[in-house]
């Protein structure tokens, strides 16, 4: 088993949906590591560090499975999968710098060791490498979509940065997680359709499928921020709330408990003692907000399965069904 793509997440080592693309994922790994060849050795070292620190390679798996299901060119699909994971990696490099995060998945971030300047440039370099890999697909439509997805992700971050304290509505939450996560999952499912001979008859379903699993994935991530073991998520419990980020469990909790004094304080940007924060986190954990969030994720996952149902029934199709369910069930 390659430690590279199975990361430290023990749930995933046994996840069956990786099986049909196990070998292809190794090709994706190789491709991602090769991009820094012929460049400054420290860039290669940085990329190796970032890739070795794990990550579940869910996005490449989605792209590879979807590509196989739709009969896309296998080599181009590998390039695409590598380009999507590098795009994701580059955004994380800049995000961790901006957030001043020193650990990700328990491993030091790049900015924990390098200067801000070197970190900015390394992120830029990885963007460039991702774009080069996207170009290997030889599809203009795909490359446009690739660039547009980056614009969507960054626009979402800017919007969040400039209006962090105003987002309590469900709709704004959906916009935010679409930009943050949904858009890249949509790329991971629509780009293989673009590479497929069945593009026109599959694009819309592929888009709905990617949207559904992407949204479900981020909602469950936001649930895990409250319910996960700190050791398995690599962050303190309720890390988002500590950063002032209002996620779905908080939005649902707020609907039922608009007068919770701790929450009111937090939303007013008043500082909360660790004690009061603990009270608030407990209240959210034991409220119905968690279950309701999981139900919402299930709904997105079911929408994804409905869309998937219209796509060719192959072994990869079955794996994508597993993956859609896994995304929701990994909170258990």
Binding residues (CB under 8 A) for its own copies: these are: 39-40, 42-43, 91, 94, 97-98, 116-118, 120-125, 127-129, 131-132, 134-136, 138-140, 143-144, 146-148, 150-151, 154-155, 157-159, 161-162
Residue 103 phi, psi (nearest 5) = -135, 145
The tokens describing 61, both together, are: 């798996």
Q: Smallest distance from the beta carbon of 79 to its own copies, in angstroms?
A: 11
Residue placing its CB nearer to its own copies in the complex, 75 or 291: 75
Q: Smallest distance from the beta carbon of 109 to its own copies, in angstroms?
A: 14
Per the CB < 8 A criterion, the answer to whether 192 and 84 are in contact is: no
Work out the number of other CB atoms within 10 angstroms of the CB of residue 171.
Answer: 8
Q: Smallest distance from the beta carbon of 196 to its own copies, in angstroms?
A: 17
DSSP 179-234: IIIIHHHHHHHHHHHHTSTTHHHHHHHHHHHHHHHHHHHHHHHHHHHHHS-HHHHT
Residue placing its CB nearer to its own copies in the complex, 47 or 254: 47
Q: Where are the alpha helices (DSSP H) in the chain?
A: 3-6, 10-13, 22-34, 41-52, 58-69, 74-99, 116-135, 140-162, 170-177, 183-194, 199-227, 230-233, 239-242, 248-256, 261-267, 274-286, 289-308, 315-329
Q: Smallest distance from the beta carbon of 269 to its own copies, in angstroms?
A: 17
Per the CB < 8 A criterion, the answer to whether 54 and 8 are in contact is: yes
Per the CB < 8 A criterion, the answer to whether 186 and 63 are in contact is: no
Residue placing its CB nearer to its own copies in the complex, 115 or 275: 115
Q: Smallest distance from the beta carbon of 98 to its own copies, in angstroms?
A: 4
Residue placing its CB nearer to its own copies in the complex, 86 or 216: 86
Residue placing its CB nearer to its own copies in the complex, 242 or 276: 242
Q: Smallest distance from the beta carbon of 312 to its own copies, in angstroms?
A: 27
Measured distance CA(248)–CA(86) in Å, rounded: 28
- For residue 42, the SS3 value is helix
Q: Smallest distance from the beta carbon of 149 to its own copies, in angstroms?
A: 8
Residue placing its CB nearer to its own copies in the complex, 96 or 316: 96
β-bridge mates for residue 104, sequence order? 107
Residue placing its CB nearer to its own copies in the complex, 117 or 236: 117
Per the CB < 8 A criterion, the answer to whether 287 and 281 are in contact is: no
Range 2-28 burial, b when 16+ CB lie within 10 A, else e:
eebbbbbbeebeebebbebbeebbebb
CA distances from residue 128 to 49, 182, 219, 265, 300 in whole angstroms, order as listed: 18, 22, 30, 43, 33
Residue placing its CB nearer to its own copies in the complex, 88 or 325: 88
Residue placing its CB nearer to its own copies in the complex, 122 or 293: 122
Q: Smallest distance from the beta carbon of 203 to its own copies, in angstroms?
A: 17
Q: Smallest distance from the beta carbon of 59 to its own copies, in angstroms?
A: 18
């Amino acid at each position: 088993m390659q430690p590279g793509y199975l990361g430290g997440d023990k749930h995933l080592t046994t996840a069956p949906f990786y099986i049909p693309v196990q070998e292809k994922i190794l090709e994706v790994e190789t491709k991602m590591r090769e991009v820094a060849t012929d460049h400054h050795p420290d860039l290669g070292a940085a990329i190796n560090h970032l890739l070795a620190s794990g990550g579940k390679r869910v996005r490449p798996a989605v792209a590879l499975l979807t590509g196989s299901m739709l009969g896309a060119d296998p080599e181009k699909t590998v390039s695409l999968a590598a380009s999507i994971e590098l795009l994701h990696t580059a955004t994380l490099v800049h995000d961790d710098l901006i957030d001043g995060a020193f650990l990700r998945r328990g491993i030091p971030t790049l900015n924990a060791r390098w200067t801000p300047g070197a970190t900015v440039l390394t992120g830029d370099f990885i963007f460039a490498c991702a774009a080069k890999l996207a170009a290997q697909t030889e599809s203009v439509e795909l490359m446009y979509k690739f660039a547009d997805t980056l614009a969507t992700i960054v626009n979402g971050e800017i919007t969040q940065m400039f209006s962090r304290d105003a987002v309590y509505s469900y709709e704004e939450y959906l916009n935010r997680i679409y930009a943050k996560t949904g858009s890249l999952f949509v790329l991971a499912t629509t780009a293989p359709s673009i590479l497929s001979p069945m593009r026109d008859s599959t694009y819309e379903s592929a888009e709905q499928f990617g949207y559904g699993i992407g949204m479900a994935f981020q909602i469950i991530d936001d649930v895990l921020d409250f319910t996960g073991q700190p050791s398995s998520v690599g962050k303190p419990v309720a890390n988002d709330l500590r950063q002032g980020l209002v996620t779905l469990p908080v939005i649902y909790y707020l609907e039922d408990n608009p007068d919770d004094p701790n929450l009111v304080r937090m939303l007013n940007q008043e500082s909360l003692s660790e004690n009061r924060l603990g009270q608030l986190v407990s209240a959210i954990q034991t409220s119905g907000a968690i279950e309701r969030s999981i139900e919402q994720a299930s709904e997105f996952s079911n929408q994804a399965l409905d869309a998937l149902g219209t796509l060719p029934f192959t072994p990869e199709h079955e794996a994508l069904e597993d993956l859609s369910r896994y995304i929701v069930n990994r909170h258990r």
